[in-house]
Structure 1
Amino acid sequence: MAPLIKEIWDLATSPGVLPFSLLLGPMVLFWITCFIGTLDFDFIGIDFGDGGVDSGDGGTLFGGSIRWLFKFMHGDVVPLPALGSFMLVYEWGGTMLGNHFWNPTEDLKQAAIIAGWALIPAVALTKMTGSLLRPMFFALKGTEGEAKPVVGRKGRVRSGVLDESSGQVEVEDPEVPLLINARLLPGSVPRAKGDLVVVESHDKERDIYFVKHLTNIES
């Protein structure tokens, strides 16, 4: 058993695998803090509502590609930190196996190629894991009126732009401001950061909120 442990340790600390091995430490700490309740899965201010990162302008090719990728991996329900940790573990496992079988000399160029190829099964396995965990995270989000009673409240646009496909709004709250994933209703004029809005309704399936510009309500 001891020789096997030493072999695994030597492989994990080899130049081609070490960067991924070092990232496992913060990942383990993240999961521990989540399980003991001192950190929330959605602590990073990223728009998960439509299955992707809020790209700011909501219309760039890069932003659209990122939104598609995370929707593909069930990022519309499973938070990005969780998906990232799963992908890291699968990528680490892939590079470990790849370097064990195809890079005995620990060549850095070969290690980089292996790491690139390892992304393919890592993405596929992350998608499968997200699919399995989707019901659990969907249940953890709760329902409108229990976890996030914000319908009818006023707030300000926090993202670079708020339109029909992307955006975030900071809702006024007596204790602490609430950051929600928001969308404008079809046909609405896009709004800029800092504009006042009011929350109109909640889409439970996608966990996003539809808002209207405040002056439209008051007029």
Structure 2
Amino acid sequence: MIEEIWNLAISPGVLPLSILLIPMALFWVTCLIGSFDFDFIGFDGGEGGFDSGDGGDLVGGSMRWLFRFFHGDEVPVAALLSFLLVYLWGGAMLGHYFFPPGNDGVEAAKLDAWALLPALVLTKLTALALRPMFISLRGLEGEAKPVLGRAGRVRSRVCDASAGQVEVEDPESPLLINARLAPGAEPLSRGTRVMVESRDPDRDVYLVKVHPENS
């Protein structure tokens, strides 16, 4: 049985995914050794640190929506990618087991493509199930260093009423928080100095306003 699984894992259609599991496993081992530092990947900008880039509002809005759909504002990106890879690998293994493509590369690619949809669904469900845990972990860090009333700068490309990220100034190390502006407020660009005004517990975000020195 083990030999059969091994042969399936190193078959041409599954081997690329099997190889990707190795650096993923090493990454998680490194995180565990580092005392569960769950702030490992925070892309600069946008919702939850995701940089939507400068490709226009349509592209930026679509990426932010997709990021929020998979709870990327609360679940680290590295975790989401790991879930997706594991489920994609598992789906490909099952597909190649029940529908062996032989040496047909096209059929093998089709089986891998079909495995993507259930992998995305399972990734969404896993992120939803683990979301409270990651919120709790990040919340404990936030309690240790209150940010209300403190100054910071916008780290995302823009910060508005629907998305944004702010780096709060701290003598020890900067604190990265998900931030929003009040509805109707003018969007702020990266680097703008702001003040943390309040916290929205329902969305687990902080409301900020332009710092008086910018007025």
Deviation (angstroms), 1:208: 1.7
1:13 corresponding residue in structure 2:
10
2:52 counterpart SS class: coil
1:109 corresponding residue in structure 2:
106
Q: Bigger shift: 193-202 or 54-63? A: 54-63
- The aligned amino acid for 1:124 is V
Aligned length: 215
- Structure 1, gaps ≥5 residues long: none
- The aligned amino acid for 2:203 is R
Confirm whether residue 176 of structure 1 aligns to residue 161 of structure 2. no
Quote the Cα distance in structure 2 between the aligned partners of 1:145 and 1:133: 19
Deviation (angstroms), 1:148: 4.3
1:128 corresponding residue in structure 2:
125
- Contact 2:88/2:112 (8 A) holds in 1: yes
- The aligned amino acid for 1:31 is W
Instruction: Go from structure 1 to structure 2 and tell me whether the alpha carbon gap of 1:132 and 1:162 turns closer, same or farther (over 3 Å shift).
Output: closer
Quote the Cα distance in structure 1 between the aligned partners of 2:7 and 2:149: 58
1:100 corresponding residue in structure 2:
97
1:140 corresponding residue in structure 2:
137
Quote the Cα distance in structure 1 between the aligned partners of 2:99 and 2:192: 56
Confirm whether residue 155 of structure 1 aligns to residue 152 of structure 2. yes
Deviation (angstroms), 1:150: 1.2
- Contact 1:157/1:193 (8 A) holds in 2: yes
- The aligned amino acid for 2:180 is R
- 1:198 alignment partner, one of 189, 195, 198: 195
- Contact 1:202/1:208 (8 A) holds in 2: yes
- Contact 2:42/2:48 (8 A) holds in 1: no
Deviation (angstroms), 1:20: 0.9
2:179 counterpart SS class: strand
Quote the Cα distance in structure 2 between the aligned partners of 1:84 and 1:147: 29
1:142 counterpart SS class: helix
2:40 corresponding residue in structure 1:
43
CA RMSD of aligned residues (A): 2.7
Q: Deviations along 1:139-159, whole A, 9 cap, x unmatched?
A: 222268614411111111222
Quote the Cα distance in structure 1 between the aligned partners of 2:138 and 2:86: 25
Q: What TM-score comes out, normalization by structure 1 length?
A: 0.84
1:199 counterpart SS class: strand
2:176 counterpart SS class: strand
